[in-house]
């Protein structure tokens, strides 16, 4: 066993004495040592209950003959961090999580790992660590929040952010807003729509790193606890069979993940995280393959914010297994791949049926013949930019309008609240990229305020920052290269015409090359917004968004 180097032999008597200081017995130390990575905290709704998941995992590990040893991982709640300086500290935690798990798992020579994440950056951070360490590893998330209800309408966090814009436009009173905020998030769990957290939990299951049900079983259901026990038992099976993370996270598994991403209409943030995870797993990744996958993969789900269904509805329809079964009908996924069940995908989905074709469209009757995400290219974004096209109104799939340029999220939000952004505009928000932000903030406050004012079908947004998975509308993020490098997005001026054609995968700044060259010559790099601490180091080391915003 790998852990023998920390516990076996005469020379390890000092080490054993330290274990015994914590109450471990010789019998426990003779068994495989399983690291249980617990991201529980009291600031994220998706993590407040994770001790119950951890306890169930530990029970499963013990039942199967292992010794569980728990250690922590940090997390940031994107919703609570949204709209202020705190959002700069969201994406950047992904690397901290991966690094800290690497440190603890290696320093203590664990034989295998059980990862217990739930929300936005925690899931990809842990997947990155899994790919880097290449140990037997399994994931069990905390599960999804149930949808809220306000009056006769089922709602989610998206509705709360949009309601702020509605209040600003005079369409809702402050009192009504207060009543609504009591209803929007009724349980613990990752926010109830196909936002980034649930997108990544679903992707984890498709990659083969989580048991069937990992992506969709609601947090408050007993089935989630039972799944956690099964995960604890399953890790011992993986250890016995010597099945490691990289044996599961193969190039073909990432192709499957991208196909499911398109079918589900996942968050655009997946196209930051999947390349970063692939990098750690040693799998080459080219963003340009996305559109080819999108072209052949139909969109089968329209969960919030794209529609009125929620993760709990997808669970009731059969979950990710049912999605994979639909895609397998037309051989859009490889079902011969290994998973943490110790079996192949084909075995896992055998006999699975789609229990609600209204929530999960059959492959023969998709919402659209193409996938939920598109990568646009053009002179404004030579290395690409990303849009969740399944959440874009039909009338905005093609749009051309004058640029309204802002150098920060705050300036944009202030102009919006003053009513200065008009129908037809293309809002450009720059210097919010991985380096320029730094930290590549999500800007749900802006997009939700637009929707709350009824402008989501009239105004497009383009940024080198990010948009939340809870965003809907023609919100185009990850514009690469970013403005802080002097890229084309840094050269846009108010009134320049920008033309977007999402189904043609194009975004064009209607300014001739000679003029852009003159502007480039006159451009001066702005002073760094942060000059000390982790964000400063991050800004110096981070790659562009099209590479996954990895540290180099």
User: Minimal CA–CA distance to 383: which of 549, 200, 552?
Assistant: 549
Between CA 372 and CA 440 the distance in angstroms is: 22
Are 292 and 255 spatial neighbours (Cβ–Cβ below 8 Å)?
no
- In a 10 Å sphere around its CB, with 0-12 CB exposed, 13-18 middle and 19+ buried, how is residue 105 labelled? buried
Query: How far apart are the C-alpha atoms of 458 and 506, rounded to whole Å?
Result: 18
DSSP 453: T
| CA 175 and chain centroid, separation | 33
Half-sphere exposure of 544 (CA within 13 A, CB side): 19
**Cα angle: 66, vertex 72, 75; to 5 degrees:** 135
Q: Are 236 and 136 in contact (CB under 8 A)?
A: no
Look up residue 337 and give its two tokens. 């791949």
Catalytic residue (choose from 445, 468, 475, 480): 468
Length of the chain, in residues: 552
CA–CA separation, 271 and 337 (whole Å): 22
Measured CA to CA in angstroms, residue 184 lies from 63, 151, 153, 156, 316 at distances of 39, 11, 10, 5, 21
Cα separation, 505 vs 306, in Å, equals: 20
Quick one: angle between helices 196-207 and 270-280, nearest 10?
40
Based on the residue annotation, tell me whether 468 is a catalytic residue of this protein. yes
The 3-state secondary structure of 41-91 reads CCCCCCCCCHHHHHHHHHHHHHHCCCEEEEEECCCCCHHHHCCCHHHHHCC
Q: Which residues are catalytic?
A: 468
């Amino acid at each position: 066993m790998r852990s023998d180097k920390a516990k076996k032999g005469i020379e390890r008597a000092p080490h054993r004495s330290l274990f015994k200081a914590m109450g471990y017995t010789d019998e426990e130390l003779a068994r495989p040592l399983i690291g249980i990575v617990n991201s529980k905290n009291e600031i994220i709704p998706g993590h407040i209950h994770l001790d119950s998941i951890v306890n169930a995992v530990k029970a499963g590990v013990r039942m199967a003959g292992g010794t569980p040893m728990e250690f922590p991982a940090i997390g940031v709640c994107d919703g609570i961090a949204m709209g202020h300086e705190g959002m700069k500290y969201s994406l950047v935690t992904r690397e901290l999580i991966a690094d800290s798990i690497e440190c603890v798992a290696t320093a203590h020579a664990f034989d295998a790992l059980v990862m217990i994440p739930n929300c936005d950056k925690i899931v990809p951070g842990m997947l990155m660590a899994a790919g880097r360490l290449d140990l037997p590893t399994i994931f069990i998330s905390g599960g999804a929040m149930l949808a809220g209800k306000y009056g006769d309408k089922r709602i989610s966090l998206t509705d709360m952010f949009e309601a702020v814009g509605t209040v600003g436009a005079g369409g809702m009173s402050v009192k009504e807003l207060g009543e609504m905020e009591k209803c929007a998030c009724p349980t613990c769990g990752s926010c109830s729509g196909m936002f980034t957290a649930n997108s990544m939990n679903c992707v984890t299951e498709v990659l083969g790193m989580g048991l069937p049900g990992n992506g969709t079983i609601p947090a408050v259901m007993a089935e989630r606890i039972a799944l956690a026990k099964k995960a604890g038992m399953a890790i011992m099976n993986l250890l016995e069979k010597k099945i490691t993370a990289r044996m599961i996270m193969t190039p073909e598994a990432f192709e499957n993940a991208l196909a499911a991403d398109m079918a589900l209409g996942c968050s655009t943030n997946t196209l930051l995280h999947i390349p970063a995870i692939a990098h750690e797993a040693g799998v080459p990744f080219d963003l340009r393959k996305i559109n080819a996958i999108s072209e052949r993969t139909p969109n089968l789900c329209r969960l919030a914010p794209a529609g009125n269904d929620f993760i709990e509805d997808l669970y009731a329809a059969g979950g990710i297994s049912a999605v994979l079964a639909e895609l397998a009908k037309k051989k859009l996924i490889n079902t011969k791949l290994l998973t943490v069940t110790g079996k192949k995908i084909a075995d896992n989905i055998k006999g699975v049926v789609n229990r609600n074709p209204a929530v999960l469209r059959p492959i023969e009757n998709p919402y659209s013949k193409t996938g939920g995400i598109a990568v646009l290219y053009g002179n404004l974004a030579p290395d690409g930019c990303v849009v969740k096209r399944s959440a874009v109104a039909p009338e905005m799939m093609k749009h051309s309008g004058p640029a309204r340029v802002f150098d920060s999220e705050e300036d944009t939000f202030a102009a919006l609240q003053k009513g200065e952004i008009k129908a037809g505009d293309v809002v450009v928000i720059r210097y919010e990229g991985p380096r320029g932000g730094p930290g590549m903030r999500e800007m749900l406050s802006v997009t939700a305020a637009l929707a709350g004012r009824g402008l989501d079908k009239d105004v497009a947004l383009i940024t080198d920052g990010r948009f939340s998975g809870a965003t809907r509308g023609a919100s185009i993020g990850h514009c690469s290269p970013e403005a802080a490098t002097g890229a084309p997005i840094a050269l846009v001026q108010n009134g320049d015409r920008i033309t977007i054609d999402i189904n043609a995968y194009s975004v064009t700044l209607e300014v001739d090359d000679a003029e852009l060259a003159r502007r480039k010559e006159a451009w001066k790099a702005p002073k760094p917004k942060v000059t000390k601490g982790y964000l400063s180091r991050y800004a110096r080391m981070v790659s562009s968004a099209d590479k996954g915003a990895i540290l180099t």
